[in-house]
Amino acid sequence: MAELAQVLRHVVPLEDSNALVGHSTRDDAAVYRVTEDKAVAVTIDFFTPIVDDPYDFGCIAAANALSDLYAMGARPLFVLNLVGFPRALLSEGILEEILRGSNEVARKAGVPTLGGHSIDDAEPKFGMVAIGEVHPDNIMTNAGARPGDAIVLTKPVGSGVIATAIKDGAADKDVVLSAVKVMSTLNQTAADAMLAVGAHAATDVTGFGLLGHLHQMLVASGVAARLRADSVPVLPGSLELAKAGYISGGTQRNLEDLASTLDFAETVDADTRALLGDPQTSGGLLISVPPARLDQLLADLEGKTPAAAVVGSIINGNPGHITIQ
């Protein structure tokens, strides 16, 4: 996170009144107004395989890319594929399965795949450009959280731990299947629910982990938060794998980058801390919602999203600071 900020300081955007959301608040997608009542939201994401099955990898990658649009309150319009793949393996059927999986999830989202770009690459990579639309007055950013808001998470964490264990052949089949199901789930239902109740802010939880993305929301909103570690849902098997040592380097970097802004209670053990900083792929939406609308949001999410957990609250304090109890 710190290294990325160092690089991005050189990216000075051209002043444009129609550029509604850029990288300054580290939000999930760029948003550009094209008419008084319409703006386009654009995002891009790609990564190396985190599971062994190519079809599952395609499903996860598509859900992950589309999630950024849902976090912004945008309706997806279409996607473009991004492929890095060894030319020598094209005849093996692996890329076909990746594309079959991604297309299946895109179809579930109701959007066409209109093309893409590919390069010959020694290490497979796949992702998407996702384009959506949103009314300029209805953009859901990460900058609107207010003191008193409840913080709701719509998917369990732990996918990074499980992906690390998969690479070592240490993840049980049932653990992998459960994680794949969650990561392949679109955040569309969660987005519809947060828009319906009038949430104040949202982001999706991906590479910076739950703590990292919550921190970004807090900084953008000028507030702090109190997080209840025992209320954060985790994927089956992830805590056991964390205890066994399957913690990625990304987790350590996330926690180190945030160290000066985190205040852990002594009761929060090292393995739980690791899961809170665990880099996620296709994670859930993290929603800041006013207390008067919390019950309705939970009712709309219950049984329809992988999780519907109240994990903390927004408080006054140093922007970005998180107290974890």
Classify burial at 206, counting beta carbons within 10 Å of its beta carbon; exposed 0-12, middle 13-18, buried 19 or more: buried
Residues 6+ apart with CB under 8 A from 284: 153, 154, 155, 156, 187, 190, 204, 205, 305, 306, 307
- The phi and psi torsions of 123 (rounded to 5 degrees) equal -110, 125
The count of residues in the chain is: 325
pLDDT digits (tens, 9 = 90+) for 73-108: 999 999 999 999 999 999 999 999 999 999 999 999
The segments of the chain whose pLDDT lies below 70 read: 1-6, 8-14
Tell me if residue 37 falls in helix, strand or coil.
coil
Handedness of CA 195, 28, 294, 149 (dihedral sign): negative
Q: What is the pLDDT of residue 1?
A: 60
Q: What is the pLDDT of residue 132?
A: 98
Using only the alpha carbons of the chain, give its radius of gyration.
19
Q: What is the pLDDT of residue 19?
A: 85
Query: Structural domain boundaries of the chain?
Result: 15-138, 150-324
Q: What CATH architecture is 150-324?
A: Alpha-Beta Complex (3.90)
Q: What is the pLDDT of residue 21?
A: 82
| DSSP 8-state class, residue 26 | T
Q: 0.85 exceeded by the pTM? A: yes
| Distance separating alpha carbons of residues 247 and 267, to the nearest angstrom | 20
Q: What is the pLDDT of residue 59?
A: 98
The alpha helices in the chain, defined as continuous H runs, are 2-8, 54-71, 94-108, 159-167, 173-183, 188-197, 209-221, 238-243, 249-258, 270-277, 294-301
The CATH homologous superfamily to which domain 15-138 belongs is PurM-like, N-terminal domain (3.30.1330.10)
Classify burial at 75, counting beta carbons within 10 Å of its beta carbon; exposed 0-12, middle 13-18, buried 19 or more: middle
Q: What is the pLDDT of residue 322?
A: 98
Q: What is the pLDDT of residue 224?
A: 98
Tell me if residue 38 falls in helix, strand or coil.
strand
| Distance separating alpha carbons of residues 284 and 204, to the nearest angstrom | 6
pLDDT digits (tens, 9 = 90+) for 259-304: 999 999 999 999 999 999 999 999 999 999 999 999 999 999 999 9
